[in-house]
């Protein structure tokens, strides 16, 4: 089983009540906060830390950013994830470092270079969470009034990946010779231009960074629309999903593996990791009390506001005491499908849905003692729903301490999880092959 930790360099990672939780560390703009967190994850043998990102303060609910800022909702503050990961890199030796970067607002050369640099400095621990972004408020920070349509975003992302892969492969593995006597620093015969000339990008290359330990960073993705799944099946090595129950998650994984085969890939080269929000304590009663406290601390408007931003729809325009209607959302289809599943199953009205969304992801059964939580993880695994989990802890950094202290030893006792790092690179630890140049 693989484990990753979802972290946002801001107030919310798993629950909107988290930053108000007693003992929460508010020092989210300090270096020490992130280096301590990275060490906790490494002590817990996590595969990688995943840094989410967003390029604007969300303002979808009531066309205003007030509730997002006032209630410390998702995206109200967000440090640059690459710089945070560089700091974590210096404080650790094994844990993988996954950075979210948008293909819509950045350029392939700069991204390929930053990723190759992180891979070198970390000794082969870099990963890229490829996002296409999904809000107009982000477009407005990058010289546009509206975002591209989904199809265009994915067209650009496909070409973006073609270019970055060509750049990472533009230096042969043995191109950097560093022979002072010859003298031969780098062999010109082993460094090539890429001469890419496409619809979105013109890039001559080569990259000005030699081939990095993993060859290419591990590629992560979270698209759940039809096009998003094809994109993941073509490029991604780890897919991050959200599902309310193991059965739909298993269907998703099955579909994704079949799509990967259609792209000529081995389905085992694509790992599916659902996001879960564990609330764990020594006993079930303590965990339930903790969950109740978190629920009371998450302001209902904060959850509705974040759900509005995720779906890119102003949910204040719908009756709060009725069920969320079926619709085609411009935003994240993965999040829509997750809340639609929950609405269908339990028939809860929109206002309540917003409240639950604010408390944390909607998958049930992850509140309890270490035995309860690990039993449920085993159930998901046995149902073929996943290859591991993306842990979104509701309160930081204590929630990750609790997972490392309580859940990881129980997983290890059942021989479901490593007791030490087996490999030197993130690819080794995830069981992924290193791409040839
Ligand atoms: C669990 C999850 C986490 C995500 N994290 C981010 C993120 O940190 N930043 C971002 O811009 N998009 C994020 N996304 C959005 C996806 O990358 C993608 O853009 C979005 O799902 C739209 O594609 P889709 O319609 O194919 O799902 C996330 C999506 C999911 C389901």
CA of 329 relative to ligand 1 center, distance in Å: 13
Bridge partners for 221 per DSSP: 130, 239
Ligand 1 in contact with 53 (CB < 6 A)? yes
Ligand 1 in contact with 73 (CB < 6 A)? no
Q: What is the pLDDT of residues 299-326, one digit of tens each?
A: 889 999 999 999 989 999 999 999 998 8
Quote the pLDDT of residue 17: 86
Residue 335: closest CA among 274, 393, 396, 379: 274
Quote the pLDDT of residue 346: 83
Cis peptide before 397 (omega within 30 of 0): yes
Ligand 1 in contact with 9 (CB < 6 A)? no
Quote the pLDDT of residue 337: 82
Ligand 1 in contact with 233 (CB < 6 A)? no
CA of 120 relative to ligand 1 center, distance in Å: 27
Quote the pLDDT of residue 15: 86
CA of 321 relative to ligand 1 center, distance in Å: 28
On whether the CB atoms of residues 429 and 417 are closer than 8 A, the answer is: no
Helices and strands per DSSP (H, E), number in the chain: 16, 14
The pick from 56, 225, 334 for probing ligand 1's pocket by mutation, whose C-beta has the most ligand atoms within 8 angstroms, reads 334
- Specify the CATH number for 2-170+211-295+361-430; select among 3.30.479.30, 3.20.20.30, 3.70.10.10, 3.30.450.40: 3.20.20.30
Quote the pLDDT of residue 25: 83
Q: Which atom of ligand 1 is nearest to the CA of 338?
A: 31
Residue 371: closest CA among 308, 280, 298, 294: 280
* pTM exceeds 0.85: yes
The pick from 131, 160, 228 for probing ligand 1's pocket by mutation, whose C-beta has the most ligand atoms within 8 angstroms, reads 131
Label the pairing between strands 196-197 and 202-203: antiparallel
Q: Which atom of ligand 1 is nearest to the CA of 224?
A: 27
Quote the pLDDT of residue 362: 60
CA of 104 relative to ligand 1 center, distance in Å: 13
Cα–Cα–Cα angle for 10, 12, 16, rounded to 5 degrees:
145
Q: Which atom of ligand 1 is nearest to the CA of 134?
A: 19
Alpha-carbon dihedral 350, 355, 356, 361, rounded to 10 degrees: 100
**What is the spatial distance between Cα 41 and Cα 43, in angstroms, rounded to a whole number?**
5
SS3 string, 16-37, reads CCHHHCCCCCCCCCCHHHHHHH
End-to-end CA distance of the chain: 29
CA of 7 relative to ligand 1 center, distance in Å: 14
Label the pairing between strands 184-186 and 196-197: unpaired
Quote the pLDDT of residue 341: 82
3-state secondary structure of 367: strand
DSSP string, 330-346: SS-HHHHHHHHHHHHHH
Ligand 1 in contact with 153 (CB < 6 A)? no
CB burial of 322-347 (b: ≥16 within 10 Å; e: otherwise) equals ebbeeeebbbbbbbbbbbbbbbeeee
3-state secondary structure of 360: coil
* Domain parsing of the chain, residue ranges: 2-170+211-295+361-430
In the block, tokens 């289809």 appear at 333
Q: Which atom of ligand 1 is nearest to the CA of 153?
A: 19
| Helix or strand (DSSP H, E) at 211 | none
Question: Low-confidence residues of the chain, pLDDT below 50?
Answer: none
């Amino acid at each position: 089983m693989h484990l990753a930790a979802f972290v946002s360099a801001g107030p919310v990672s798993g629950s909107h009540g988290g930053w108000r939780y007693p003992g929460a560390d508010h020092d989210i703009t300090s270096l020490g906060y992130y280096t301590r967190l990275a060490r906790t994850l490494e002590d817990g043998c996590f595969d990688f830390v995943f840094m989410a990102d967003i390029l604007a303060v969300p303002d979808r609910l009531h066309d205003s950013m007030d509730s997002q800022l006032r209630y410390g909702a998702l995206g109200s503050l967000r440090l640059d994830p690459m710089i945070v990961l560089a700091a974590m890199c210096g404080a650790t030796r094994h844990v993988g470092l996954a950075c979210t970067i948008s293909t819509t607002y950045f350029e392939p050369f700069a991204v390929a270079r930053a990723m190759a640099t992180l891979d070198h400095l970390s000794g082969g621990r870099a990963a890229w969470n490829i996002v296409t972004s999904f809000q107009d408020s982000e477009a407005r920070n990058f010289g546009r009034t509206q975002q591209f349509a989904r199809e265009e975003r994915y067209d650009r992302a496909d070409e973006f990946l073609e270019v970055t892969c060509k750049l990472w492969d533009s230096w042969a593995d043995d191109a950097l010779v560093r022979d002072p006597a010859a003298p031969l620093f780098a062999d010109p015969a082993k460094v090539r231009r890429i001469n890419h000339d496409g619809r979105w990008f013109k890039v001559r290359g080569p990259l000005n960074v030699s081939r990095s330990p993993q060859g290419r960073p591990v590629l992560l993705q979270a698209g759940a629309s039809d096009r998003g799944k094809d994109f993941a099946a073509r490029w991604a090595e780890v897919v991050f999903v959200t599902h309310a129950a193991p059965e739909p998650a298993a269907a998703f994984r099955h579909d994704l593996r079949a799509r990967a085969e259609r792209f000529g890939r081995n389905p085992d080269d694509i790992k599916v990791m659902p996001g879960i929000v564990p609330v764990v304590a020594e006993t079930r009663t303590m965990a339930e009390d903790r969950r109740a406290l978190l629920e009371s601390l998450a302001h209902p408007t904060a959850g509705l506001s974040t759900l509005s931003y995720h779906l890119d729809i102003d949910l204040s325009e719908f009756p709060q005491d009725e069920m969320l209607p079926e619709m085609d959302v411009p935003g994240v289809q993965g999040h829509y499908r997750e809340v639609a599943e929950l609405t269908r199953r339990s028939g809860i009205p929109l206002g309540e849905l917003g409240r639950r969304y604010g408390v944390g992801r909607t998958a049930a059964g992850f509140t309890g003692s270490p035995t309860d939580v690990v039993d449920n993880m085993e159930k998901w695994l046995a149902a073929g729903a996943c290859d591991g989990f993306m842990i979104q802890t509701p309160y930081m950094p204590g929630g990750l301490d609790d997972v490392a202290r309580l859940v990881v030893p129980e997983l290890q006792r059942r021989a479901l999880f490593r007791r030490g790092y087996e490999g030197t690179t993130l690819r080794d630890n995830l069981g992924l092959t290193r791409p040839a140049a």
